[in-house]
Amino acid sequence: MKTEFRTRGEEAATGHSADLAQARQAGSRAAREERERRERLEGEYRVRLRRLEQVVLEEEHLRTVRIPGLLVHLRAPHTAVPGLLHEELAGTSIDVEHRAVLDAVSRGVVEEGVRADEAGLAVVRGVLAKAHSLHLRMQDQIRDIVDGHPDADPALMRAVLGLDMHNEIIGRALQTPAVACGAPALLFREQTYLIDVVLSAASRVHGFQDRIQEPANHLLRRIGVAEQHVEALRIIASALLANAVECSHSTLKVAVELHEAPTGVSVVIDDPGVGLNEEQLARGRWLVSGARAVRLVDLGDPPRSGWAAVGMLVRQHGFHVSLGKGRHGGVSAVIHIPNALLVEMPENEEPSVLAPAPVSSTPVPVRSGPTGLARHAAGPTEGRSGEPGALPSRRRRAKEPAEAHRAGAEGGHRSPQEAGRMWGAWRAGQQEGLALVSQAEHSRSGDDDHDRTERN
């Protein structure tokens, strides 16, 4: 019996020890799990605290660095907008929200800039329109004086013609920035020979007699410009010619050539000036391309509106203007007038007496494209005027005999000697007037030379 009691006691003790060991193991496992949970919570807390610190720093970075960088980028697109301060936040909700803020700021700044620019353009257009109307009125008054006083004193006529030339230069100075700001070309002239349009544009440039060569006319047909495009082409050519003259040495001349191609006619202006570097040439090509409307801030400081006006007219009328390196180190500007803007002038109308004759009287075979209007030496295509390869033809109503007789009677008849004296006085007055204008311009050239550059 004692043995049985001892056995049962040992078994109870052994069971108690096993239970105690299990309890100890359970307690140890619970403590370990609690420690791991605590460590995990502490790690999550540290991560969240680190993320909160990053968010605070990113907010500060957005306010002090990224938004100011975006404003600089909007003024100078070649500068980059700064990115996130912590790259590990890329793609997170913080990154998405900050991008939304930048987009909203950019959109607001652009819209406000466009609104302010449109208001500024409207003011400029209004002021220049009033000034240009006064210029046109002055031009009419000068013409009335010249036409109404054929027997006036030659000295007085020279002074009047000098004012006329100076007024013409003022008109170009007013019209060019107005067109760059979106104003129309205003004047609509009759269809005109292309060579006369180029000569008229050259006459609006100071010192054109000494600085611009007689255009080399390679046109073999009676090519003219349609009425609604004459003044626009005149403005484009005068702006490019003025730029070429101002940016080349006073002893060198600007070359002008007219060439026909299957798709239209090209006017080439080549100056022996200082030329452009790659950045200036790229900016010039962008301005004259008419890719988009130019804003006031794009005109520079001081504002230069020549190329901007060219680009605006290119957008409106369909011309094409390109800039490149010139043959003599300067700039070569090419104005291409498509066939759609050209007409074939009537045979009973001739260019002005100042227009140079074609360089070659022998037709040169030109390959014609599907829509080209150039003639082959043999086998030309048929144009809209009924002639093979002809340009669009527009005819004016000839004067009736009674009208012609009435016009002659009103004008009166003069003897050859009297007409010769009048012409001599007119030419003498013109030359002296131009000389006075040239002298006045040269007196100011010392103040303007530092501003003259090919970045018109």
pLDDT tens-digit profile of 383-411? 444 444 455 554 444 444 444 444 444 44
- DSSP-derived 3-state class of residue 363: coil
Nearest to 349 by CA among 397, 295, 409, 402: 397
Residues 6+ apart with CB under 8 A from 247: 271, 273, 274, 330, 331, 452, 453, 454, 456
What tens digit of pLDDT does each residue of 250-291 get? 788 899 999 998 899 999 999 888 888 888 888 889 889 888
Residues 6+ apart with CB under 8 A from 273: 244, 247, 248, 249, 252, 326, 329, 330, 331, 454
Give the C-alpha separation, 383 to 340, whole Å.
12
Q: Which residue has the tokens 């969240």?
A: 48
The torsion defined by the Cα of 243, 271, 449 and 322, in degrees rounded to 10, comes to 40
- Which string of b and e fits 323-355 if b means at least 16 CB within 10 Å? beebeeebbbbbbbbbbebbbbbeeeeebeeeb
CB 99 within 8 A of CB 70: no
Nearest to 306 by CA among 182, 179, 214: 179
In this predicted model, which residue has the larger pLDDT, 326 or 422?
326
Predicted confidence at residue 439, as pLDDT, reads: 60
In this predicted model, which residue has the larger pLDDT, 33 or 398?
33
**pLDDT tier for residue 377 given thresholds of 50, 70 and 90:** very low
In this predicted model, which residue has the larger pLDDT, 367 or 131?
131
Predicted confidence at residue 423, as pLDDT, reads: 63
Q: What is the mean pLDDT of residues 116-141?
A: 87
Distances in Å between the alpha carbon of 346 and those of 125, 142, 337, 343?
37, 31, 19, 9
CB-based contacts of 54-58 (< 8 A; 24+ apart in sequence): 54/85, 54/86, 54/89, 54/94, 55/94, 57/85, 57/86, 58/84, 58/85, 58/86, 58/89, 58/94, 58/98
Q: DSSP E strands: which ranges in 177-319?
A: 192-193, 216-217, 223-225, 255-261, 264-270
Give the C-alpha separation, 294 to 241, whole Å.
21
Q: Which of 24-33, 231-240, 320-329 has the lowest mean pLDDT?
A: 24-33
- The helix or strand, by DSSP H or E, that contains position 25, with its residue range, turns out to be helix 2-61
Cβ atoms within 10 Å, residue 416: 7
Q: Given CA atoms 342, 347, 351, 355 in this order, what sign does their dihedral have?
A: positive
Distances in Å between the alpha carbon of 312 and those of 228, 231, 326?
15, 13, 24
Predicted confidence at residue 414, as pLDDT, reads: 54
CB 245 within 8 A of CB 206: yes
- The token pair at 177 is 């920035």
Give the C-alpha separation, 166 to 439, whole Å.
12
In this predicted model, which residue has the larger pLDDT, 21 or 107?
107
What tens digit of pLDDT does each residue of 303-345 get? 788 888 999 999 989 999 999 888 888 889 999 999 999 999 9
In this predicted model, which residue has the larger pLDDT, 130 or 453?
130
**pLDDT tier for residue 352 given thresholds of 50, 70 and 90:** confident
Q: What is the mean pLDDT of residues 44-73?
A: 86
- Average pLDDT taken over every residue of the chain: 77
**pLDDT tier for residue 15 given thresholds of 50, 70 and 90:** low
Give the C-alpha separation, 366 to 59, whole Å.
67
Q: What is the pTM of this model?
A: 0.63
Distances in Å between the alpha carbon of 223 and those of 99, 341, 352, 381?
57, 10, 13, 17
Query: Is the pLDDT assigned to residue 427 strictly greater than 80?
Result: no
Q: How many CA atoms lie within 13 A of 118 on its CB side?
A: 6
Kindly give the residue spans of alpha helices, DSSP state H, lying in 181-277: 194-202, 208-211, 227-246
Q: What is the mean pLDDT of residues 16-30?
A: 74
**pLDDT tier for residue 416 given thresholds of 50, 70 and 90:** low
Give the C-alpha separation, 44 to 230, whole Å.
77
Q: Which of 110-119, 125-134, 218-227, 444-453 has the lowest mean pLDDT?
A: 444-453
Give the C-alpha separation, 363 to 402, whole Å.
40
Predicted confidence at residue 252, as pLDDT, reads: 85
Most confident stretch, 76-85, 230-239, 349-358, 359-368: 230-239
Q: What is the mean pLDDT of residues 159-163?
A: 86
* Centroid of chain to Cα 348: 39
CB 195 within 8 A of CB 311: no
Phi, psi of 270 (to 5 degrees): -125, 120
Give the C-alpha separation, 305 to 322, whole Å.
17
* Residue 255, strand partner residues: 270
| Helix (H), strand (E), coil (C) string for 122-134 | HHHHHHHHHHHHH
Nearest to 256 by CA among 315, 180, 205: 205
Query: Is the pLDDT assigned to residue 13 strictly greater than 60?
Result: yes
